[in-house]
Amino acid sequence: MKGEKVKGKNKKRLFSFTAIGIWVVMLIVLLISSPSLTNLVSTKGGIKLPNGYSDRIADELKDNLKFNSINTYLAVFHSNSALTKEDKDNIKKTINNIIENKKDLHITNVLDNFSNPELDSELVSKDNKTIIASLTVNPKGVTTKEIISGIESKLSTKGVETYLTGNKPIESDVNLAAQKGLNKTEGITIVFILVVLVILFRSIVTPFIPLITVGVSYLASQAVVAILASKYNFPLSNYTQIFMICILFGIGTDYSILLLDRFKEELASGKDKYEATINTYKTAGKTVLFSATPVFVVFASLNFISFNLYKSAVAVAVGILFLVFGLFTIVPSLMMLLGKNIFWPVKSKVKVNENKLWGKLGNFAFNRRILTLVIIGIITIIPIILNNFSESFNNLNEIGDNYPSKKGFNIVADSFGIGKVSPITIYIENDDNLKAPEYIALIEKISNNLKNASSDVDSVLSVTRPIGKRLDQIYVNYQAGQVTNGVNKVTNGLNTIKNGLDSAGNKIQASKSKLNSAKEAAGKLQNGTLATENGVDQLQKALNELDNSINLEHNGANELKSGVENAKSKLNELKSGQEKLHDGYEQVGNDLNKIAKELNEANSVKNNLIKVDEKRLKELIGTTKTDVEKFVKDHPELNNDKDLQNFIKDFESLNQNISSLDVDKLNKKYEEIKGYINKINELNKDINALANAMNELNSKSNEVTGGLTEFNNGLSKVESGLDALDNGLDKSLNGGDKISKNVPQISEALQKIAKGQGEIKSGFSKFKSQINELGQGLNKGADGINEIENGIKYANGYINDWANLSYNFSGISIPMKIYSNKDFDDALNQYITPNGKLTTIQVMINKNPYSNEAVNEISKLEDIVKYSVEGTKLENANIGVGGIASTTYQTKIMAKADYNKALVFVIVGVFIVLVVILRSLVMPTYLVVSLILTYFTSISIVQIIVQKIMGYPGISWITAFFGFVVLIALGIDYSIFIMTRFNQYENMEIKERMIKTMKIIGGVVMSAVIILSGTFAALLPSGVLSLVEISMVVLTGIILYVVVILPLFIPAMVRTFGKYNWWPFKDLQEEMKKIKNNKDSNSEKEDTDTKKE
């Protein structure tokens, strides 16, 4: 018998060493083969949305098509005073250095004001204290941490502060803060547990039992999670390690305390260490298993939701498996090896302490259950009523202001507007080439609708708005305005032609009287010339008589002198007539020059003639009509607009009015007018020839006048000679001969003049006839031009109505010539991929992209995009929305949906486990109600603290979920502690069972709560807001649950339901007991009969 006991002890020792050996080997293998979980969290721990969410679609679009703006970082250069020229030069050097090394820095594009001076207003703050540069980064094959580290190494600039901000740098700093919080939590948790266990058990050895067990379990589970994440994309987040530490160390220590406390009871009852260990695991071990099961179910059920952040808590379920394995192998091994030495240096007999406070509270609740429920209602309901359940999605609040990304964010927000940090980016993918005119028009339509979405939209950037301002030349109203201006020029030109033709016609008509005068003057000149010629003939006769007189010297000097005086008188009359003739020549010449000038003016009208292009005019009208129809189709809500309908009716009649202009007739007039102009040219030539002839006549007239003057001088000489007849009759005779010789020449010249004057008179008659015809033609041409002008004005009135429409009511038409514009080509390359399959539209809003206001804008923008593409060729395009606000919005939708799922999964899972463990439907019901009531009360209290004291708009959305999961998982532990112990006292009355349970378990629960509170209190100095809030929710909830709900609510419920606490399984349990008792009695009877025989 003694040998068997020794053999049994040896087997137990072998079990202990074997179990410990297995753990050592397993832990070494796992630690060697697993990658770093911390590194995996930094690379794979970001928030990821499931397929089908808009932001996820945006990520897939830009990744698959290698779009040139995969991630955008902002380099911030800031000074507390205005940047100097030296500062700007240093900044320029830094940016140039980044551009030179952009390949090594994984940067695909740098947008700065030094390379693009036109962007000064966008990239340089108004106070001249801040300059930003946009860095487009391709993160393929490299981590965010490496990218940030590389850029920051080149970013430092002399004389200014430099920061790197944007969505990714902020996420990186949040991860960094979480890791720092994790390190703080680990250290604080271990130290706290060690101190509390030393105080609780007054032993140096005891604290190391749970620490070793939980520590080994945590390391092993962490290694397994790392392997699963590395090879099978197991979900991870910044909260994975933190919650594994808090929950494993919290409940692991609680379970260890429960086991050690029961082990202490068994030792106190006189059992040896082996028997005490076995009994401990038969009782408390079962409780631990029961308690761990619902906790495992809570975290394992999260595997059925989609959101990776929530799903990452499944790692805790892995940790619980290893924890339970450790509790059932390591702890019993150490119990059997150490025995009472576990509690060293305590030597006295181990005692079991009862919790008198819980005993009193339980007794009060059992006896005054109505009052108890009223008190509980007041404590819990009031905070819930005061809770507005507002949640914050502001990721910036997660970290302190000392992080560089947040500093940079705040500087950009203050200097440029808060929406500048992360615009909302809309991605549109299509099978057709988006560079085609019809798609460019659709993109502008979407852009314009987005710009008018709300007052919170500052600007929209797209291929048609590359710097936030629309390209006016693609709008029909702008094009119509250009057409109107062109038509106005045509109208003005036609008006000039009409006025010119009218003026020329009037002048020609006015010149008819001058032509008559010129004709009459030419007749008079001809008569005068003939009279002059007769005078010359008479002069010839007088000269002959004078010559005879001279030859007849004997007639006497007196007769000779009388003849000379008579000739001189005749000569003076002739000279006077010639002078009048000369003046007439000049008058006719001047009139001819005036006529020539007026004809030249009429000829100049030809240069202003514009032929009406009916085809071009109708083409412009047709294009505008098409845009009108497209506009009405895109805005069906305007079908009831009477003004628009009247405009459309008028516009539809435009082509008819164009046709009524009879453009062929007008163009025929145009040709006729050109013919008249040609006639003017011919007449002009005749007038010029006539003027030349008149000039020649004037020249001849001058010769005649000169001859007469010379002749008069000769007569004077004759007269002088007569006075000195005695001095030289020979000289007089010679002078008379000379004069006589000149007279025929004068007569001959006068004959030529008279002949030319006859030709002029005939020419004037012919010219007068042509002038009449020309005048009539010019007047008809003016009337035709007037008809054209009126028709074009009529058409232009309709076009002008379209031009005066606002841009919001105008159609869009992309002219092909815009593709040759360099700025537009740059915009195509910036906002559309080279293959033309993907385009982006950026929306700048004046709200913090993390704020609820910005988040609420996303749904509006998505609706606008959906409405804008409805019924177009982009209706079936893939559309995604990216950016911080979009990610936050999609996260909000996902979080809310999965939060509701988690509530169902966790509550149903916990309820089923409780039903199985407690064999009742009643007890699980009020236990679950107690947990839900505790959660909503605690989160309401924290909400009030966060809003009223801490000044935040609401608790973090992460807090609501993890606070619920953790509080339910931990709270159910303590419920099971109580109810399983309650069910163990089967032979007692309900009240006695309840009070005894409260006394015995109260101490254990209070000790466990102290440990658990300490582990979660370690999150308070983490520096991460969501962790602080989760810690506050858990601490508030656990304290509320242990102080109010468990000692008051549970006893009151037990008292209320009485024997129905085990409904509907109570009768079944009694039947099973009867069957068992019958079997036992039958067995005893058989034994008695056998003995008798």
Instruction: Give pLDDT tens digits for 417-449.
Output: 776 777 888 889 888 888 888 888 888 888 888
Tell me which range, 142-146, 688-692, 865-869, is most confidently predicted by mean pLDDT: 865-869
Look at 85-99, 437-451, 782-796, 1058-1072 and tell me which has the smallest mean pLDDT.
782-796
At which residue do the structure tokens 């008028």 appear?
Answer: 650
Which range, 288-292, 354-358, 604-608, is most confident? Answer: 288-292
Q: Residue 1092: its pLDDT value, please?
A: 46
Residues pairing with 879 in the sheet: 428
Hey, which CATH number is domain 1-33+202-346, 3.55.10.10, 3.30.465.10, 1.10.3210.10, 1.20.1640.10?
1.20.1640.10
The reply to whether 1-33+202-346 and 353-404+883-1062 are identical in fold is: yes
CA dist 543 and 739 (Å) reads 8
- Per-residue confidence (pLDDT) for residue 366, from 0 to 100: 86
The pLDDT value given to residue 1021: 86
pLDDT tier at 1091, thresholds 50, 70, 90? very low
Query: Which 3 state secondary structure label does DSSP give 130?
Result: strand
67-174+405-411: which CATH architecture? Answer: 2-Layer Sandwich (3.30)
Is residue 184 helix, strand or coil?
A: helix
For every residue of 656-706, DSSP letters joined together read HHHHHT-HHHHHHHHHHHHHHHHHHHHHHHHHHHHHHHHHHHHHHHHHHHH
pLDDT reading at 725 higher than 50: no
Nearest to 189 by CA among 1006, 1012, 1007, 1018: 1018
| pLDDT tens figures, 944-960 | 999 999 988 889 888 98
Tokens 């009108």 sit on residue? 628
SS3 content of the chain, % helix, strand, coil (to 5): 75, 5, 20
Residues 814, 815, 816, CA angle at the centre, nearest 5°?
115
Q: If you compute the radius of gyration of the chain from its CA atoms, what whole number of angstroms results?
A: 57
**What are 323's two structure tokens?**
């924890």
Q: Is the dihedral of CA 60, 64, 65, 69 positive or negative?
A: positive
Tokens of 384: 């819930």
Range in 300-304, 310-314, 342-346 the model is least confident about: 342-346
pLDDT band for position 92 (50/70/90)?
A: very high
Length of the chain: 1093
Predicted TM-score (pTM) of the model is 0.67
State the Cα angle at 792 between 497 and 784, rounded to 5°.
Answer: 45
How far apart are the C-alpha atoms of 329 and 333, rounded to whole Å? 6
Structure-block tokens of residue 291: 């308690």
Mean pLDDT (the chain) is: 75
Rounded to whole angstroms, the Cα distance separating 917 from 286 reads 10
Whether residue 1033 is predicted with pLDDT greater than 90 in this model: the reply is yes
Confidence of residue 741 (pLDDT cuts 50, 70, 90): low
Position 32 confidence tier, pLDDT thresholds 50, 70, 90: very high
pLDDT of 1015 over the 60 cut: yes
The three-class DSSP label of residue 838 is: strand
CA–CA separation, 880 and 426 (whole Å): 6
pLDDT of residue 662 exceeding 70, the answer is no
Burial category of 1054 from C-beta neighbours within 10 Å (exposed 0-12, middle 13-18, buried 19 and up): buried
Instruction: Identify the pLDDT of residue 379.
Output: 92
Q: Is 465:447 a contact under the CB 8 Å cutoff?
A: yes
As a whole number of angstroms, the distance between CA 1032 and CA 153 comes to: 39
Q: Which two tokens stand for residue 386?
A: 């005061």
How crowded is residue 469: how many other Cβ atoms within 10 Å of its Cβ?
11
Q: Which two tokens stand for residue 977?
A: 């502690």
Q: Helix (H, G, I), strand (E, B), or coil: what is residue 429?
A: strand
Percentage of the residues of the chain whose pLDDT score is greater than 70: 61
Q: Which residues neighbour 239 within 8 Å (Cβ) at sequence distance 6 or greater? A: 178, 309, 312, 313, 958, 962, 1027
Count CB atoms within 10 A of the CB of residue 144.
Answer: 19
Mean pLDDT lowest for which of 454-463, 549-558, 1017-1026? 549-558
Tokens representing 1080 are 């036992």
- Gap between the Cα atoms of 644 and 650, Å rounded: 10
What separation in angstroms does the CA of 374 have from each of 369, 381, 774, 926? 9, 10, 116, 16
- Give the fold, CATH level 3, of 353-404+883-1062: Multidrug efflux transporter AcrB transmembrane fold (1.20.1640)
Most confident option among 522-526, 661-665, 755-759, 844-848: 844-848
Task: Name residues whose C-beta falls within 8 Å of residue 471's C-beta, 6 or more positions apart in sequence.
Answer: 444, 464, 465, 818, 824
C-alpha 522, offset from chain centre: 87
Alpha-carbon gap, residue 966 to 303, rounded angstroms: 15
pLDDT tens per residue across span 835-876: 888 898 888 888 888 878 888 888 888 889 888 888 888 888
User: So where are the chain's domains?
Assistant: 1-33+202-346, 67-174+405-411, 353-404+883-1062, 426-472+815-881, 504-608+670-784, 1066-1093
Instruction: Mean pLDDT check: name the lowest of 276-280, 752-756, 932-936, 1044-1048.
Output: 752-756
Task: Identify the residue with better confidence: 526 or 828.
Answer: 828
pLDDT recorded at residue 417:
77
110: helix, coil or strand?
Answer: strand
According to DSSP, the residues that pair with 459 across neighbouring strands are 844
Helix ranges, 82-239 (H): 85-100, 120-123, 144-155, 167-201, 208-232
